[in-house]
Amino acid sequence: MKNRMPNDNTKTANLVNYRDPTLIGLGASIVLTTLVIIGSRNLEHFDSALFGYLIASIVAFGAIFFRYALWLQRPATRAYFSRGLKLFFQRKKFVRNTIDATKTVGINMLAQKFIFERAKTRWLMHFLIMWGCILSAAITFPLVWGWIHFKLESETGYRAYVFGFPMQSMDVHSVMAFFTFKALNFTALMVLAGCAIAIHRRLKDRGAIAVQQFLLDFVPHLLLIAICVSGLMLTASSTYFGGYMYSFIALSHQAIVIMTLFFLPFGKLFHIVQRPASIGVELYQQRAKEMEQAKCQRCGVEFASVMWLGDLKSVVEKVGFDYTMENGEKLQDYCPRCKRVMRGLAYSVLMDRPDKVFHGSRADNE
Ligand code: HEM
Ligand code: HEM
């Protein structure tokens, strides 16, 4: 084998281009700002008390696009992403692809079956956190962006307006009004319960303890708990304590939400936008099985699709590795079993040359 290490570190570093992600991020922020102006009817229905939330959400939105575009520059991610899109839009298979992708969204994104298979409590933990956060976001962001506002129409009747268009009215004492105006308290309880299960596991499970890190595995929970507790304190203040310390608690809630929004693109919570890309990976794997299969150069067994092998070789080359062997073939052209056998044989030859045994990397490079 010629050289197994990236032969030129700058080659990998040079692949990163910050200009396009920056432009994409700025573009996303501009689009959101425009939608805020349109949706709030020229800021007529925008609540100026929510200005801090607005600015933070616009910046975070752009930052998420920036980080996503940067992530897509990684050769492997890019290969899966562009190939996934091409496979999806194949004209002949478009309907079948749409059905398969919808199934993946339902089973893996919404119901999260793959977490259920790990453990039921982990599934419950994630279900509560994910749906608690999604519902909270669905309530708060449209309010912050002025896309939804409520108008008092009679002494006890409210009408909701979405993007300036009138919707159904409701009585302030109705069950619907109770759930509409109190919904955040229920979602806060969902998220708190989910975080409690997660933290309990992280304090007890030896496997988790061995690998977890404070910033990566605890900070997201602490932020979510702080948001929920400060939100519930707002309700407690207005309902039971005549508004005692309300503005201070509201400011704390805002500060923690803003911190979390800024943390979103750079911490563990980025998986919220990163993970759904696995729909493309799943489609890739499903379609790859139906395509022409590559045969191992040594034993002739079919072990992967020709498409996957081609993509793998180009990704490996882009990250600066060269797996060309002495016979001119690429190591990737061999099945996993033969690779192990070949490695074993190479080591057995080295055993006869004691001067090379403890210098594996030198021997590999020769
Ligand atoms: C609003 C959306 C979401 C939120 C707030 C969220 C939040 C979290 C948090 C806080 C954790 C860490 C749990 C721990 O400490 O063990 C986690 C883990 C995880 N998340 Fe999410 N997530 C969301 C969406 C998603 C989506 C869409 C997927 C993928 C389809 C996903 C996949 C995962 C997986 C696989 C884990 C590891 C779970 C385990 O086995 O313990 N998440 N998520
Ligand atoms: C996990 C996510 C969140 C939870 C569980 C949550 C929870 C709460 C709760 C329980 C309240 C009190 C509601 C009431 O008085 O009935 C509240 C208020 C509020 N939340 Fe959140 N929240 C979350 C995220 C957000 C986000 C992302 C934003 C902004 C983008 C936001 C903006 C607000 C605002 C503006 C208020 C009203 C505060 C005021 O009166 O000044 N929240 N939240």
Confidence category of residue 347, pLDDT binned at 50, 70, 90: confident
Task: Spell out a b/e string for 190-214, using b for 16 or more CB atoms within 10 Å of the CB, else e.
Answer: bbbbbbebbbebeeeeeeeeeeeee
Question: Which atom in ligand 2 lies closest to the alpha carbon of residue 56?
Answer: 30
Q: How many other C-beta atoms lie within 10 A of the C-beta of residue 226?
A: 17
The closest-lying atom of ligand 1 relative to the alpha carbon of residue 131 is 1
Query: pLDDT digits over 29-78, tens only?
Result: 999 999 999 999 999 999 999 999 999 999 999 999 999 999 999 999 99
223 lines ligand 2 (CB under 6 A): no
- Please tell me the least confidently modeled range out of 145-154, 221-230, 251-260: 145-154
Residue of 130, 199, 224, 274 to mutate, ligand 1, most atoms within 8 A of C-beta = 130
Task: State which of 80-89, 139-148, 161-170 shows the largest mean pLDDT.
Answer: 139-148
Q: Is 269 in the pocket of ligand 2 (CB under 6 A)?
A: no
**d(CA 142, ligand 1 centre) in Å:** 23
Regarding the beta carbon of 188 and ligand 2, being less than 6 Å apart is answered yes
With a 6 Å cutoff on the Cβ, whether 287 touches ligand 2 is: no
pLDDT at 363 over 60: no
Q: How far is the CA of 258 from the centre of ligand 1 (A)?
A: 20
Q: What is the pLDDT at residue 73?
A: 92
Ligand 1 centre distance from Cα of residue 122 (Å): 10
Ligand 1: list residues with CB < 6 Å: 108-109, 115, 118, 122, 126, 129-130, 133-134, 198, 202, 217, 220-221, 271-272, 275-276
Question: Ligand 2 atom closest to Cα of 247?
Answer: 41
Segment 279-286 shows an average pLDDT of: 87
The rounded percent of the chain whose pLDDT value lies above 90 is 62
Please write the tens of the pLDDT for every residue from 104-150: 889 988 889 899 999 999 999 999 999 999 999 999 999 999 999 98
Is ligand 2 within 6 A of the CB of residue 227? Answer: yes
Q: What is the pLDDT of residue 179?
A: 85
pLDDT band at 357 (very low <50, low <70, confident <90, very high): low
For residues 260 and 219, is the Cβ–Cβ distance under 8 A?
Answer: no
- Exposure string of 137-168, with b = 16+ CB inside 10 Å and e = fewer, is eebbbeebbbbbbbeeeeeeebeebebbeeee
DSSP states of 120-173 as a string?
HHHHHHHHHHHHHHHHHHHHHHHHHTTSEEEEE-SSSEEEEEETTEEEEEEETT
b/e per residue 42-64 (b: at least 16 CB within 10 A): eeebbeeebeebbebbbbbbbbb
Ligand 2 pocket check: which of 133, 140, 241 to mutate, most ligand atoms within 8 Å of Cβ?
140
Domain definitions of the chain by residue range: 291-365
For ligand 2, say whether the CB of 250 is within 6 Å of any of its atoms.
yes
- What pLDDT was estimated at residue 29? 98
Q: Mean pLDDT across the stretch 349-365?
A: 58
For ligand 1, atom 29: residue with the closest CA: 275
pLDDT digits (tens, 9 = 90+) for 286-338: 889 889 999 999 999 999 999 999 999 999 998 889 899 888 888 999 999 99
